[in-house]
Amino acid sequence: MSATTNRRALVIGASRGLGLVLADELARRDWQVIATTRQGGGELQATAEASSGQLTVESLEMTSVEQLAALRERLAGTRLDLLFVNAAIDRGNLPIGEVPTDMFTEVMITNALSPLRALEALRGLVAPGGTVAVMSSEQGSVSRNTEDGYELYKASKAALNQLMRSYATRYTDDGQTKLLIDPGHNQTELGGPDAPLSPKESIPAVVDVLEAQAGAPGLQFLDRHGDTVPW
């Protein structure tokens, strides 16, 4: 990412919660931001209209290979300094033996497979020295999985981390910074109203990490303070 005000970011999954605040925070820091949503209107559109042109909105259902390809075509010629994929769902706190097969498939496709498909489809837009990043979670840390609960969500984030590791290995020489980001436990639809953080508290720190890590080699799994999260 350059130090100029011409920095451009694409945020996948920005209709609400962490993604919405991330897109807004980047725009506030003079990034040109393209943010995606599955449905038009809503808070993201209002944020874009108030951004004086810093933020624009694109439609995308990230789980659709066809829509990813169409977005890639629409953005042909665009050069990104940051590609950030923010997407996750949670289907409740069931022991894994009680999880229906269709629920398991839905969560794994959304939380693990689709973010990597998005990176594969859009990585060619990222400028040399740019950053590709995915919103992960400490819940995906195998070594820190010492408390009961949310087994499917944890497994999906661990799968995401492993797939990102494979991605980084495959593209080790592409010159792009690669990050998995743990934003902490936030008050979102996913995190619940009793979480200790709000996105407006955590996301500015996340953006600090993104900007500080620009140009760093290899893949890192970092929290919002820039500290390494154990695999």
- Mean pLDDT, residues 20-41 taken together: 94
What tens digit of pLDDT does each residue of 98-153 get? 999 999 999 999 999 999 999 999 999 999 999 999 999 998 999 999 988 899 99
Q: What is the mean pLDDT of the chain?
A: 92
Which one has a higher pLDDT value, 38 or 208?
208
Residue 84's pLDDT band (cuts 50, 70, 90): very high
199 inside domain: yes
- What does the pLDDT read at residue 195? 67
DSSP symbols for the chain: --SSTT-EEEEES-SSHHHHHHHHHHHHTT-EEEEEESSSSHHHHHHHHTTTTSEEEEE--TT-HHHHHHHHHHTTT--EEEEEE----------GGG--HHHHHHHHIIIIIHHHHHHHHHGGGEEEEEEEEEE--GGG-STT--S-S-HHHHHHHHHHHHHHHHHHHHTTTS--EEEEEE--SBSSTTT-TT-SB-HHHHHHHHHHHHHHTTT--SEEEEETTSPBPP-
| 55-59 sheet: strands from edge to edge | 55-59, 32-37, 8-12, 80-85, 126-135, 177-182, 219-223
Q: Is the dihedral of CA 48, 136, 157, 184 positive or negative?
A: negative
Contacts of 172 (CB under 8 A, 6+ apart): 218
Q: What is the pTM of this model?
A: 0.94
Does the pLDDT value for residue 200 go beyond 80?
Answer: yes
Strand partners, 134: 85, 180
The enclosing domain of 155 has a CATH number of: 3.40.50.720
145 domain-assigned: yes
pLDDT at 3 over 50: no
How do residues 153-179 score in pLDDT, each as one tens digit? 999 999 999 999 999 999 999 999 999
pLDDT of res. 196:
62
What is the spatial distance between Cα 141 and Cα 48, in angstroms, rounded to a whole number?
A: 35
- pLDDT at residue 139, as a whole number: 86
User: How high is the pLDDT of residue 143?
Assistant: 94
Q: Identify whether 228 is part of a domain.
A: no
Instruction: Provide the percentage of residues in the chain whose pLDDT is more than 90.
Output: 81
Averaged pLDDT for residues 78-89: 94
| β 80-85/126-135 pair status | parallel
Within a domain: residue 188?
yes
- The length of the chain is 231
* Measured torsion, CA atoms of residues 1, 175, 22, 136, in degrees rounded to the nearest 10: -160
**Total domain count, the chain:** 1
Q: Which residue has the higher pLDDT, 65 or 185?
A: 65
pLDDT at 1 over 50: no
Q: Which has the higher per-residue pLDDT, 149 or 82?
A: 82
How many Å apart are CA 191 and CA 223, to the nearest integer?
A: 16
Percent of the chain with pLDDT over 70: 93
- Residue 87 binned pLDDT confidence (cut-offs 50, 70, 90): confident
Residue 53, domain extent = 8-223
